[in-house]
Chain A
Amino acid sequence: MESPKESLLEKFRAALSRIASLGRSGAMDAEMDEELRSHLAHAIDENLARGMSRKEARNAALRSFGGITQTREAYRTQRGVPVFDQFVRDVRFGCRQLMRAPGFALTAVLTLALGLGATTAIFSIIDALLLRPLPVPHSDELTVLNYRSINDRQNGYSFNVPVFRTIEKGHDLFSNVAAFSQHTLQVRGNSGNVRVQGQVVSGQFFQMLQTPPLLGRWLTPQDDQKGGASSQFGIVISEGFWRSWFNHAPDVIGRKMIIANAPFVVVGVMPHNFFGADPVERPQIYVPLWSEPIVDAPYDNIAAGEHSWWLRVMGRRKPGISAEQADSALKASTKSIYEEAVSDHKWLEDQKDQRLGAEPGTTGFTYLQRFLAKPLKAIFGLCAVMLLLACLNLASLLLARSAARERELATRLAMGASRRRLIQQLLVESLLIAVLGSAAGLMAVPIISGMLTSILLGVNATQTIDTSMDVRIFAFVALTAIVATLLIGFIPAWRATSKNLNEQIKGGSHTVSAHQRTRLLPRILMGLEVALALMLVVGAGLLSASVARLYRTGLGFEPKGVVALSLDMGKQPLDGAALTQWYQAYSEALERQPGVEGVGYASMTPMDGSVWTSTIQSSLSGGDKEMHMDTIGPEFFRTMRVPVLAGREFRWSDTPTSGKKIILNDAAAKVLFPNRNPIGQMVYRDKGDPIEVIAVVGDMHYESIQHAAPPTAYIPMGQDKGHKSSYTAVVRLKGGAAAFAAAARSLASQMSPDIPPPIMISFQDQINNSITSERMMVILAIYFAGCALLVTAIGLYGTLAYATARRTGEIGIRMALGAQRLSVVALVFRENASVAITGSAAGLIAALMASKLLASFLYGTSVRDPWVMSASVLTLMAVACAASLLPALRASRIEPIQALRTE
């Protein structure tokens, strides 16, 4: 009845007045009633005046008025926003329905909360690490620099100082390039030294990030030079440190601080929300890169030059340059950058396959991104599957429940309710469940993500993953809730309203045929759920088996407690046997130092980036085989804790005159002597003289744990043909490194005044906990497999409980006819067993097909590991049995008389 001439303004007015009336429907109802009463009173007055009796007058008035109820309804519809009114009514109805079945409501809400909470928790970690841009101006221009060798699986992100300085000096891609590295600083307080989280940053760091300082100034390239700007280094502190250490003193700029026993001066304070370029670190103090030898003493990563890979490098691209352009430009100029940075030909040769690159750095850089990106995405996928599982679960619960309401719905359909209207009402019910479940899940998110973060990072970690809520997370939750509503509600609603009344009313709950058809869909859903859960359990099992294997093999050596002392022999007079004797004397002197548990030498140490290969053949190898080579001293394997599987270590007596000796690692032994004991056999290096194999040792990973340990052959330093070779002493230390470093230096200069002081670096720094990624993956996978099992158990229990309750009458009859309680239990058990078996079979097939996706995460584990597969199936069967227990017991306690009476 809308008038065509109605203007936009009038439509707007009408809408406004409708919305305004929403809040005061009670008052308006009262006013309408009064108006209708007044109408009837006037009509009756008039009829009485015409001479009717009181009763006639009243009846005539009512007749000419028409339906009072219809008028009120039409009036209300006109008054309110009709959809909204209907919605409110549906919500009320839905609430009543849920309250009538509190057990069902609780199961439903908990299931959804579990699925949604777990998924959102993972999403909040993904958000914090991979999506949230750094809170600095124009973060989209930031770029992370990387490098990669042709046969590397992953990019490297740790740069050494010479390469970084060369990129910093000359580049036309970036307006700024900066390097940073995390360091715990020793800060002198009123009562001794305090450990404070700090960051070593290069000169352009703050210019690159652009966040203006709260007080004072940034560190600049002038601060980042040897010795600092004016005899001491400047530092910038965080707002938090300014508050906790200086109590917000306004005159903080220019104050002195003693860090690692050296004076520093505060030049600036950064605002509260600034935390540098690493989203999981919260540094309190920023010190210039050139002060690293002071704050990191006794180690010196600057002096270690191209051999120490320890800096993260980022740049801000110039306007108009894309990350791809920067990437290809850096790739093309890698050779010239390396040649300008490093003069050592051996090093350049080792890195000849390496190419620099660039990738977008909007979210900053943290190793956690690299460790966690793949596991997180995989787990997020698993979570989505689990959420789907939870929804399927609820859908089948709702199906079971709507089976109980079929007659009610059929009756309503027959009485003229439109199908759309009924579906809408049922959907509102599932919306209620979704909203309650989301709310409960959302409340659990901070707890779950806090728990996950502390498991992932370790309880005492200095790092933080900021999983606080933001727009993206809320949008995610809202979207999930909507999708869940449709998933949960639509199938049951559609099915429940598709019944024709005749069939229903005739059928009752006696007809078995109708029964079986009704129960087919929930069973298919449950079977699907079992299949999905099995896939999750198999996935988690495979991952755990893989990581257990990684842990067992490890790096092949124990990096903890080992330091590397690199010696430079190029400028001293000794050579040949005399130099070997010097090395022997020096190692014996080092071994006498307190806390030293072992000393060995090697020309190449793990993780230092250098590679030396050579070809070796044996009578069984079928030609030359390429091997990694290393020259080592006695006691090397004992010091590194590498197992000697057969034979003996080198001795100082293995000299050029004592017959050529070689040690193979396990991988090399397998290549050269398949199924044969190699000890005492001969090999030929570069087609030269025969060399005797004297030992087989465990495999050592040179690059990272995921890179397979290369077949490696070791030759003794006494038989090395090079001149004035420089070795790195590996020393296993117990206790402090500082005293040892001083002793090592003074010993070296006492014994040979011509060699420069040895440079010490720690192994632990070089190895960024290479198996973190896998370990985290497993923690996450086990957690979610657990959740999935729980959800499945609830689902199996819920549907079975409903189905059994519906069969009370049938079971009663069976028992009245003489069925034993045991056979009733078996009857109920059989129901879940068939679902569990078909589901498991389907899941197993799907898991086998999907296992290729997992293959890249697995280490030394077949994607079809029979143990994992069978254990997973057994677990699920156990869960299915546990879920059947309660309904089966309940069914066996049914009293036939009572059951038949309720029918």
Chain B
Amino acid sequence: MGDSKSDVLQGTLDLMVLKTLEAMGPLHGYGIARRIEQVSGDTLTLNQGTIYPALLRLEQRGWVKAEWGMSESNRRAKYYSLTRPGRKQIESETENWERIAATMARFLAPSN
């Protein structure tokens, strides 16, 4: 694990999962994990296992729902999909995240 990789920032995993489900539609845990790895382009060290507690957390809050189904490789898998409150949550989380990112950018910009 090189220096160029960073750990998943606290609180960001939830939004990544929600965005993935928004983009891809219903997906199982492995699919979500792979998608996050691909999108981040290997800049993140993600233990795939950590998405399961995150999924459970989202499910408990009613932002995603889960049901068992068959995957493309003909295996049983638990599929997660966004709920209506989940979509709303993406909006507000995105706003929130952009505000933080902008603030951070101002701090990091070279001062002159």
Contacts and interface: CB of A to CB of B under 8 A. Distances in A.
Interface of A: 1, 3-6, 10, 13-14, 17-18, 32, 34-36, 38-39, 41-43, 45-46, 64-68, 70-71, 74-75, 77-79
Interface in B1-42: 10-11, 13-14, 28-31, 33-34
A343 B15 CA distance: 98
B60 A74 contact: no
Given A1-B10, A5-B92, A38 B28 contact: yes
A13 B49 contact: no
Across the A-B interface, give the 9 residue pairs with the lowest CB-CB distance, nearest first. Answer: A66-B47, A71-B49, A42-B30, A66-B49, A14-B60, A74-B53, A78-B53, A39-B30, A10-B61
B30 A13 contact: no
B78 to A, nearest CB: 5
A509 to B, nearest CB: 44
A5 B14 contact: no
A5 B93 contact: yes
A14 B61 contact: yes
B93 A3 contact: yes
A5 B96 contact: yes
Contacts of B52: 32, 35-36, 71, 74-75
Given A10-B85, A17-B59, 5 more contacts: A3-B89, A38-B78, A65-B48, A68-B49, A71-B47
Contact of A4 (B47, B50, B53, B96): B96
A45 B73 contact: yes
Contacts, number: 93
Given A39-B29, A42-B28, A42-B30, A75 B53 contact: yes
Contacts of A13: 60-62
Nearest to B34: A46
A75 B11 CA distance: 16
A10 B83 CA distance: 13
A42 B57 contact: no
Contacts of B76: 34, 38
Interface in B42-94: 47-50, 52-54, 56-57, 59-62, 71, 73, 75-78, 85, 89, 92-93
B87 to A, nearest CB: 13
A71 B61 contact: no
Classify chain B's interface size.
20 to 34
23 contacts: A1-B14, A3-B11, A3-B14, A5-B93, A10-B62, A13-B62, A14-B57, A17-B59, A34-B76, A35-B52, A36-B49, A38-B29, A38-B78, A39-B30, A41-B75, A42-B73, A45-B75, A65-B47, A65-B48, A67-B47, A74-B52, A75-B56, A77-B53
B30 A43 contact: yes
Contact of B89 (A5, A17, A36, A75): A5
Contact of A78 (B13, B28, B57): B57
B8 to A, nearest CB: 10
A63 to B, nearest CB: 9
Residue in A13, A35, A41, A70 whose Cβ sees the most chain B Cβ within 10 Å: A35
A1 B28 CA distance: 22
A77 B60 CA distance: 13
A6 B11 CA distance: 12
Given A75-B52, A78-B57, A42 B96 contact: no
Nearest to B73: A45
Contacts of A45: 73, 75
A46 B28 CA distance: 14
Contacts of A65: 47-49
A131 B48 CA distance: 64
Contacts of B10: 1
Contacts of B61: 6, 10, 13-14
A67 to B, nearest CB: 7
A13 B78 CA distance: 22
Contacts of A43: 30, 48
A13 B58 CA distance: 11
A38 B75 contact: yes
B112 to A, nearest CB: 33
Nearest to A67: B49
A36 B77 CA distance: 9
Contact of B11 (A1, A42, A67, A77): A1
A35 B29 contact: yes
A71 to B, nearest CB: 3
A204 B5 CA distance: 92
Given A14-B60, A38-B78, A42-B73, A66 B30 contact: no
Contacts of B60: 13-14, 17-18, 78
Nearest to B57: A78
Contacts of A4: 96
Nearest to A32: B52
B40 to A, nearest CB: 14
A75 B14 CA distance: 15
A65 B46 CA distance: 8
A38 B47 contact: no
A529 B67 CA distance: 63
Nearest to A77: B53
Contacts of B57: 1, 14, 78
B42 to A, nearest CB: 11
A35 B14 CA distance: 19
B77 A42 contact: yes
